Amino acid sequence: MEARLAALREREKPALGFAVAGGVIAIPVILTALLQMERRSAIYVTVIIGSAALLLWQRRHLQLTRDVGLICPLCGAEQSMALPYLGRCPSCQAVLLAPSDRRPIPKSPITDGSVLRNVTGAVVLIVLLAWSLYELARVIRHR
C-alpha cells in the first residue's frame, strides 16, 4: 500500500498543477493587456478555461489512481491519502487494511501547536474580517 501511495505522489507532479494555476491566473491580465478585452469578458473566459483545466486535472487524477491501483475492490471508489491511517474505504466503509498494517494518525500541528501561533492566526483573521466589513461599508456608502 505504501508503494502505491508513493507511486501516486510521484506521478501526480504538483509542479504541473502550479504551472496550470499560474497560467489560469495570468489569463485575465493577458486578455485585457494584449487583446484589449473588457475585464468582465476576460473573467468569463478565465472561468471557462479554469473550469476546463480543473475537469481535465480531475480526470487525470482518477486515471492515475486507477493505474496505481488505489481503488476499492468492493465499490470501485477512489482511495484517499488517509487510507494508511484509517484502513477503510471512504465510500462503503469496507476494511481494506488490517489494524496491524495501519499507521498511527499524526498529531495536528494546529491543535497541538504553540498558543502564540494560534492566537496570532485568530488575530489576523479578525483583523481581515474587520477590514473587509469596513471596505464593504465604504463601498455601500459611496453608491
Q: What is the pLDDT of residues 70-121, one digit of tens each?
A: 778 888 887 777 778 888 888 888 888 788 888 887 777 666 667 888 888 8
* Amino acid symbol at 84: P
Residue 134 CB coordination number (10 Å)? 10
Predicted pLDDT at 2: 67
pLDDT at 133 over 80: yes
Predicted pLDDT at 111: 65
Q: Where are the domains of the chain?
A: 1-70, 72-106, 107-143
Is the full-model pTM beyond 0.75? Answer: no
Which pLDDT band holds residue 6 (cuts at 50, 70, 90)?
confident
Closest CA to 96 of 104, 86, 106: 86
Predicted pLDDT at 109: 65
Closest CA to 96 of 12, 4, 8: 4
> Tell me: the pLDDT tens digits for 26-47?
888 888 888 888 888 888 888 8
Distance CA 71, CA 48 (A): 30
